[in-house]
Amino acid sequence: MRTRTIEISVGFFMMLGVLALVFLAFKVSGLTNLVGNHVYYVTADFNNIGGLKVRAPVRMAGVRIGQVTQIDLDHKTYQAKVTMAINNADSNIPDDSSASILTEGILGANYVGVAPGYADKFLHNGSKIDNTHPALVLENLIGQLLFSVNKGSEKKS
Amino acid sequence: MDNSHDHLVKIRNVHFKRGERQIFSGIDMTIPKGKVVAIMGPSGCGKTTMLRLIGAKLKPSQGSIEVDGQNIHRLSRKQLYTARRKIGLLFQSGALFTGMSVFENVAFPLREHTNLSELLIRDLVLMKLQAVGLRGAAGLMPSELSGGMARRVALARAIALDPQLIMYDEPFTGLDPIAMGVIVNLIRRLNDALGLTSIVVSHDVSEVMGIADYIYVLADGKVIGEGTPESIKHTQSPRLEQFIQGLPDGVVPFHYPAKDYAEELLA
Amino acid sequence: MIARMQALGEQGLNFCGTFGRAGLFLLATLLRRPRLIRTFPLLVNELYSVGVLSLIIIIVSGLFIGMVLGLQGYNILVDFAASEKLGTLVALSIVRELGPVVAALLFAGRAGSALTAEIGLMKATEQLDSMEMIGVDPLWRIISPRLWAGFIALPLLTLIFSAVAILGGYLVGVQWLGIDGGSFWSNMQATVHFREDVVNGIIKSLVFGFVVVWIAVFQGFDAVPTSAGISRATTKTVVYSSLAILGLDFVLTAMMMGGW
């Protein structure tokens, strides 16, 4: 009888462990693609990606549709080549959509925002998004602002 | 005692050192089959060490020990574990497995070494427990047993595999007279009934004299006397006499070696 | 001065000797051919005493650590108006560091010391010797199942600890302090990665489990067979395991971050 209780409790323990693993995998780390073939890859060249990092989310209308998988520098054009994995579920993204580097809030992390275009053809594995908007770098913005303010005050005086 | 294949254990010129201390320097013993042989000697003379040498827990630095015709120290690990099934060793404390009941303790060697059915194991265990008079205690845990009972359970466990040789390490120490009588009786009875060979290590002169067929007395790493209880009793050697009769002072001095008494007090 | 250096040298040699003995002991145990049908029930028994009996302390500690993290994290994050990032903070610190390390420390205190004491006591009461005399190899019968049970149990305990701790953070953050539950989970999911965070945590706990059980079992087996010897061995198990866990955690983290 004692061995029976031991066996049952050990089984319970093992199941609890597996359950915890499942919880950590799906609820905590948001793992949705175990095998990894439920995505297709799209690239886009940006003049400036700001603080974008690998694994940053890709969003369309604020909804997460994929993530950044790779960032390289193109040695000919000196642009940043960003590779993104888009979920197969979102396969009907128009060919002429535009991608921009956006920021979550003022101090948040960068992500790639995709705005839909109007073409009938859709993006597929290996396509490239031509229409891109670089990240807004805060320092540059402030610099421009100061510059225009200065100009304005010069005119007045 | 010269018919050589009637001897279960043959110890030839065994030397043993523990660290720097020489424990044995040239021991020769023969244990004949079917007899109860006692190894006696004052505390610390290496009686228990001798049992460990025979059980191959320790290795002699020189000399050989043969058990049932095999040099026990030349066996591979696997062969040694097989050979040990022929040897039962009863530890002073009993050394029962504290996590198991009395029944499981006795069943342990059977479960580990045989593929007997549960029913057969149960019968065998109850038989062994009956032999030591503790069939009724099968369900108890070792912590619920008295010292004497624990030793009897350990005895039942030691005979579970029907060994040829059984060694008792100080079986009489720390027992009340009744339990002592029970153990003395059991050693003799089991030896004769099961055709065992027994080696009893002890310093309890009177009990040993009562049951042993042959006695070896060890001291200072040597055999200082051997013979039947009768001949040992009437020996003339002063060392042996002191040990057998329990005289406080003699060849073995009462005082541990020290500086002169008067000198140390006045210093 | 020379005497001190001599003592130091001797300690160094002693340490090397102990380490060597521990290594040989581990090798000898792992080389014991496991006989599956016979070993399995033993393993289940040991999993019970090593794993199931540690479950309560792991769950309770996990819950409280998660709750404290939630409370502390909230108070800091709320100043930056980033309290919805609490999920990220709790999950990352638990999954990457606190889960494996704290679970291993608790495991060393609960299961490791018990293993050392149990084996040391078996040695002191001659149970190991008598088992050997019965013809059963104690390395196979006693040590090996305990070693494997420990290897298996700690990663499972760590997973449970992490899961419970994150739930504790959720309780405090969402149920008590009123953060939005959806953003709590979605922020967490956006930043915690299975391969980099969860799997690395499991790898850590595998290493910790191995080291803790090795130390515990060896200290028990190597203990001086007296009551003083056993209590010293138990203390040593807890001290050495804790040091090993914290030291190895640094090494492993550095390796994982360095992208080895």
pLDDT digits (tens, 9 = 90+) for C7-47: 888 888 888 888 888 888 888 877 776 666 677 888 888 89
List, in sequence order, the alpha helices (H) in chain B. Answer: 47-54, 77-83, 102-113, 118-131, 147-158, 177-194, 205-211, 229-233, 238-245, 261-266
A touches B (3+ CB pairs < 8 Å)?
A: no
Q: How many CB atoms lie within 10 A of CB C146?
A: 25
Non-local CB neighbours of A35 within 8 Å, separated by 6+ positions: none
C111 touches C50 (CB < 8 A): yes
Query: Long-range contact list for C48-51, CB < 8 A, 24+ apart?
Result: C48/A6, C48/A9, C48/A10, C48/A13, C49/C111, C49/C114, C49/C149, C50/C111, C50/C114, C50/C115, C50/C146, C50/C149, C50/C150, C50/C153, C50/C213, C51/A10, C51/A13, C51/C111, C51/C149, C51/C152, C51/C153, C51/C156, C51/C157
pLDDT of residue A157: 54
Asked if the Cβ–Cβ distance from B82 to C133 is below 8 Å, we say no
pLDDT of residue A155: 63
C223-251 confidence digits (pLDDT tens): 998 889 999 999 999 999 999 999 999 99
The residue among A12, A14, A29, A63 with the most chain C CBs within 10 A of its CB, best to mutate, is: A29
Q: Which residues in C lie closer than 8 A to residue B96 (C-beta atoms)? A: 127
Q: Are residues A128 and A80 in the same domain?
A: yes
Count of all residues that appear for chain B in the document: 267
Q: Which residues in A lie closer than 8 A to residue C55 (C-beta atoms)? A: 13, 16
In a domain, A157, yes or no: no
Pairing of strands A63-73, A80-87: antiparallel
Tokens (6 digits) for C195: 């391969």
The residue among C33, C133, C136, C142 with the most chain B CBs within 10 A of its CB, best to mutate, is: C133
Structural domains of chain B ordered from first start: 4-266 (3.40.50.300)
In a domain, C45, yes or no: no
Min Cα distance C132 → chain A (Å) is 25
Mean pLDDT along residues C195-211? 91
Asked if the Cβ–Cβ distance from A57 to C190 is below 8 Å, we say yes
Asked if the Cβ–Cβ distance from C190 to A64 is below 8 Å, we say yes
Tokens (6 digits) for A54: 């690998």
Q: Are residues A133 and A57 in the same domain?
A: yes
Q: Which residues in A lie closer than 8 A to residue C155 (C-beta atoms)? A: 17
Non-local CB neighbours of B147 within 8 Å, separated by 6+ positions: B94, B174, B175, B179
Which helix (H) or strand (E) is A155 found in, with range? helix A138-156
- Alpha-carbon span C148 to C121, nearest angstrom: 20
Enter the ipTM.
0.81
Q: Which residues in B lie closer than 8 A to residue C137 (C-beta atoms)? A: 77, 81
In a domain, C155, yes or no: yes
pLDDT at B1 over 50: no
List, in sequence order, the alpha helices (H) in A23-137. Answer: none
pLDDT of residue C34: 63
Mean pLDDT along residues B164-182? 84
Tokens (6 digits) for B9: 């254990």
Q: Which residues in B lie closer than 8 A to residue C127 (C-beta atoms)? A: 95-98
Please provide the average confidence, as pLDDT, over all residues in chain C: 89
Percent of chain C with pLDDT over 70: 97
- Alpha-carbon span A133 to A48, nearest angstrom: 8
Please provide the average confidence, as pLDDT, over all residues in chain B: 83
Which residue from A7, A24, A30 is facing C95, i.e. has the nearest CB?
A24
pLDDT of residue C94: 92
pLDDT at C171 over 90: yes
Percent of chain A with pLDDT over 90: 5
Q: Are residues A27 and A46 in the same domain?
A: no
- Alpha-carbon span C130 to B78, nearest angstrom: 17
B83-121 confidence digits (pLDDT tens): 888 888 888 877 888 888 888 888 888 888 888 888 888
In a domain, A152, yes or no: no
Largest Cα–Cα distance in chain B?
75
- Which of B49-63, B229-243, C189-203 has the lowest average pLDDT? B229-243
Q: Are residues A118 and A134 in the same domain?
A: yes
Expressed in percent and rounded to 5, the helix, strand and coil fractions of chain B are 40, 25, 35
Tokens (6 digits) for B243: 């040990």
Nearest alpha carbon to residue A40 among A130, A127, A129, A132 = A127
A2-56 confidence digits (pLDDT tens): 678 888 888 899 899 999 988 888 888 777 654 555 788 899 998 888 888 877 8
- Alpha-carbon span C161 to C10, nearest angstrom: 42
Nearest CA in chain C to A28: C189
pLDDT tier at B2 (50, 70, 90 boundaries)? very low
pLDDT at C197 over 70: yes
In a domain, C135, yes or no: yes
Question: What phi-psi label fits residue A100: left (phi over 0), alpha (psi between -120 and 50 degrees) or beta?
Answer: beta
Non-local CB neighbours of B114 within 8 Å, separated by 6+ positions: B121
Q: Are residues A27 and A53 in the same domain?
A: no
pLDDT at A107 over 70: no
Nearest CA in chain C to B163: C134
In a domain, C78, yes or no: yes
Q: Which residues in A lie closer than 8 A to residue C56 (C-beta atoms)? A: none
Q: Which residues in A lie closer than 8 A to residue C47 (C-beta atoms)? A: 10, 13-14
B165 touches chain C (CB under 8 A): no
The residue among A4, A5, A16 with the most chain C CBs within 10 A of its CB, best to mutate, is: A16
- Alpha-carbon span B168 to B172, nearest angstrom: 9
Which residue from B88, B95, B113 is facing C127, i.e. has the nearest CB?
B95
- Alpha-carbon span C251 to C255, nearest angstrom: 6
pLDDT tier at B266 (50, 70, 90 boundaries)? confident
Which is more confident, A110 or C38?
A: A110
Q: Are residues A48 and A88 in the same domain?
A: yes
Nearest alpha carbon to residue C107 among C169, C44, C144, C56 = C56
Min Cα distance A119 → chain C (Å) is 30
pLDDT of residue B171: 84
- Alpha-carbon span C188 to A30, nearest angstrom: 8
Asked if the Cβ–Cβ distance from A9 to C48 is below 8 Å, we say yes
In a domain, A24, yes or no: yes
3-class SS at B175?
coil
pLDDT at B215 over 70: yes
A76 touches A98 (CB < 8 A): no
Neighbors of chain C with 3 or more C-beta pairs under 8 Å: A, B
- Structural domain harbouring A17: 1-31
Pairing of strands B165-169, A39-46: unpaired
- Structural domain harbouring C195: 50-257
Asked if the Cβ–Cβ distance from C133 to B57 is below 8 Å, we say yes
Tell me the residue type at C205. Answer: S
Place of tokens 């060994």: B163
- Alpha-carbon span C215 to C233, nearest angstrom: 10
Neighbors of chain B with 3 or more C-beta pairs under 8 Å: C
Q: Which residues in C lie closer than 8 A to residue A17 (C-beta atoms)? A: 155-157, 159-160
Min Cα distance C177 → chain B (Å) is 49
Q: Are residues A135 and A72 in the same domain?
A: yes
Q: Which residues in C lie closer than 8 A to residue B85 (C-beta atoms)? A: 134-135
Q: How distant, in Å, are the alpha carbons of A60, B91, C91 from that of A34?
A: 23, 58, 20
Asked if the Cβ–Cβ distance from C135 to B82 is below 8 Å, we say yes
Q: How distant, in Å, are the alpha carbons of C28, C48, C53 from that of C153?
A: 22, 9, 11
- Alpha-carbon span B171 to B151, nearest angstrom: 8
In a domain, A57, yes or no: yes
pLDDT at A146 over 70: yes
Q: Are residues A3 and A56 in the same domain?
A: no
Q: How distant, in Å, are the alpha carbons of A54, A111, B194, C145 from that of A69?
A: 5, 12, 79, 44
- Alpha-carbon span C244 to C105, nearest angstrom: 10
Asked if the Cβ–Cβ distance from C163 to A25 is below 8 Å, we say no
- Alpha-carbon span A82 to A71, nearest angstrom: 5
Count of all residues that appear for chain A in the document: 157
Give the angle C242-C248-C253 at the CA atoms, nearest 5°.
130
In total, how many domains does chain C have?
A: 1
pLDDT tier at B263 (50, 70, 90 boundaries)? confident
Q: Which residues in A lie closer than 8 A to residue C159 (C-beta atoms)? A: 17, 20-21, 24
Mean pLDDT along residues B224-248? 79
pLDDT at B254 over 80: no
Which is more confident, C114 or B186?
A: C114
In a domain, A151, yes or no: no
pLDDT of residue B139: 84
- Which of A24-33, A68-77, B53-62, B220-229 has the lowest average pLDDT? A24-33
Report DSSP state, residue C85.
G
- Alpha-carbon span C173 to B121, nearest angstrom: 60
In total, how many domains does chain A have?
A: 2
Nearest CA in chain C to A109: C191
C48 touches chain A (CB under 8 A): yes
Rounded (10°) angle between helices C36-50 and C113-124: 120
HSE-up of B119 (CA within 13 Å, CB side)?
0
C33 touches C135 (CB < 8 A): no
Nearest CA in chain A to C182: A27
pLDDT of residue C215: 93
In a domain, C32, yes or no: no
Which residue from A6, A20, A107 is facing C163, i.e. has the nearest CB?
A20
B230 touches chain C (CB under 8 A): no
Mean pLDDT along residues B17-24? 81
Asked if the Cβ–Cβ distance from C197 to A29 is below 8 Å, we say yes
| Distance, C-alpha A52 to centroid of its chain | 8
Min Cα distance A155 → chain C (Å) is 40
Which residue from C121, C125, C130 is facing B89, i.e. has the nearest CB?
C130
Nearest alpha carbon to residue A74 among A51, A103, A43, A53 = A43
B196-206 confidence digits (pLDDT tens): 888 988 888 88
pLDDT at B4 over 60: no
Non-local CB neighbours of A126 within 8 Å, separated by 6+ positions: A41, A42, A43
Q: Are residues A20 and A44 in the same domain?
A: no
In a domain, C107, yes or no: yes
pLDDT at B40 over 90: no
Tokens (6 digits) for B89: 């060793």
